[in-house]
Every structure is written in structure tokens, then in C-alpha cells.
């Protein structure tokens, strides 16, 4: 991973975090050009293998959030941001960044629930959601549980995970 790629990923995350905290959305105007730029940079600096691994990183990272988007639990802005970050970081760092973002998103969720004094409520509903997902996987009908309505700006978790991957050596796997 060269400094252009890490710099690009961190810069993208910095802008996306500000936008997400302020407007609770991550604009296409930011994520889609960043995705294209990352693919072009990898293709230009590392030729075919770089381009393929960058595309692989984007797809692997995006695939982690896509089920959440399909079930309407996650915004597509988050999915596209993680895809762009994945394209910058390339495979396998992108996969680790995505997993770390999910973990940090959970921590952020716990802190948000604590802040609003609704931790017990959120945990109960999480178990309900897990039960619903398990029943859904088995094909047996069960009423979809009502969500608490609390949401977290997931772009922040993606940014924190990206910074961790960039700063902690060996965390993103070896290349």
C-alpha cells in the first residue's frame, strides 16, 4: 500500500465523516468519483494486478455491508463509502477494514444507546432481530420486530477502521 492510497483513503474518510455527522448522508459526489479514482490509481501504479486487487477490495468490503442494505438496516451511502475505501486499500486490507468498521460500528451503537439511556431496550430488540433473522433463514414466518429508531453515523466507524488499518502495522494482512 503506498502513501497515495493511504492518503486518499484517509482524506476520503475525513470528508465523509464530517458530512455524515452533519447531514447523516454520504453523497455520491464524494464516494463514486473516489471509487473511480482509486481504481485508476491502482491501475496506473500497479497495472493489471493492482487494478484487480483494488476492484476485489471494493467488492469484498461492499459485500460485508450489502446484506444490511438489502434488508434496509444500512444506508447505501455507507456501502459505497466502504467500497471506495476498499478500492483505495485494496485486497486483503479492505476486508479487514470492513470487518473492523462493523466492530467499531457496534461499539458506536452501544455508546449511542448508553447516551440515550436505552441500552437494555436496544439489547432486547437486538435479540429479537437475531431471532427474526434466524427464523427468516429457516423460511418460517415471523413478524419483523419494530426497531428502536436509534441510528448511528456508520461513516465514522469506517473512518476509524481505516485509520487503524493505516496506522497499525500488520493489522490489514501482509502484501
Long-range contacts of 123-131 (CB under 8 A, 24+ apart): none
Could you tell me the three cell numbers for 131?
431471532
Max Cα distance, the chain (Å): 52
Q: What string marks each residue from 66 to 105 as x (binds other proteins by CB under 8 A) or -?
A: --xx-x-xxxxxxx-x---------xx---x--xx-xxxx
Distant-in-sequence, close-in-space partners of 32: CB < 8 Å, separation ≥ 6:
80, 84
Please choose, out of 6-14, 33-41, 135-143, 148-156, the segment that lies near other proteins by the rule CB under 8 A.
148-156
| 163 binds other proteins per the rule CB under 8 A | no
Nearest CA-CA partner of 74 in 167, 132, 157: 157
Sign, Cα dihedral of 9, 10, 11, 14: positive
Residues 37-56 touching other proteins, rule: CB under 8 A, are: 48-49, 52-53
Whichever of 86 and 155 has its CB closer to other proteins, that residue is 155
Residues that bind other proteins (CB under 8 A): 16, 19-20, 23-28, 48-49, 52-53, 64, 68-69, 71, 73-79, 81, 91-92, 96, 99-100, 102-110, 112-113, 122-123, 125-126, 128-130, 133, 145, 147-148, 150-155, 173-175
Amino acid at each position: 500500500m503506498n502513501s497515495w492510497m493511504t492518503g486518499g483513503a484517509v482524506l476520503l474518510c475525513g470528508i465523509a465523516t464530517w458530512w455524515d455527522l452533519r447531514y447523516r448522508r454520504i453523497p455520491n459526489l464524494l464516494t463514486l468519483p473516489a471509487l473511480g479514482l482509486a481504481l485508476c490509481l491502482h491501475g496506473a501504479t500497479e497495472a493489471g494486478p493492482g487494478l484487480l486487487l483494488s476492484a476485489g477490495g471494493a467488492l469484498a468490503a461492499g459485500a460485508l455491508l450489502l446484506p444490511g442494505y438489502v434488508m434496509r438496516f444500512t444506508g447505501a451511502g455507507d456501502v459505497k463509502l466502504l467500497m471506495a475505501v476498499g478500492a483505495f486499500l485494496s485486497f486483503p486490507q479492505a476486508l479487514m477494514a470492513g470487518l473492523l468498521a462493523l466492530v467499531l460500528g457496534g461499539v458506536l451503537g452501544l455508546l449511542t444507546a448508553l447516551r440515550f439511556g436505552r441500552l437494555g431496550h436496544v439489547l432486547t430488540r437486538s435479540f429479537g432481530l437475531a431471532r427474526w433473522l434466524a427464523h427468516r433463514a429457516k423460511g418460517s414466518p415471523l413478524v419483523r420486530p419494530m426497531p428502536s429508531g436509534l441510528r448511528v453515523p456508520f461513516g465514522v466507524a469506517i473512518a476509524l477502521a481505516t485509520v487503524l488499518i493505516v496506522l497499525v502495522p500488520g493489522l490489514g494482512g501482509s502484501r
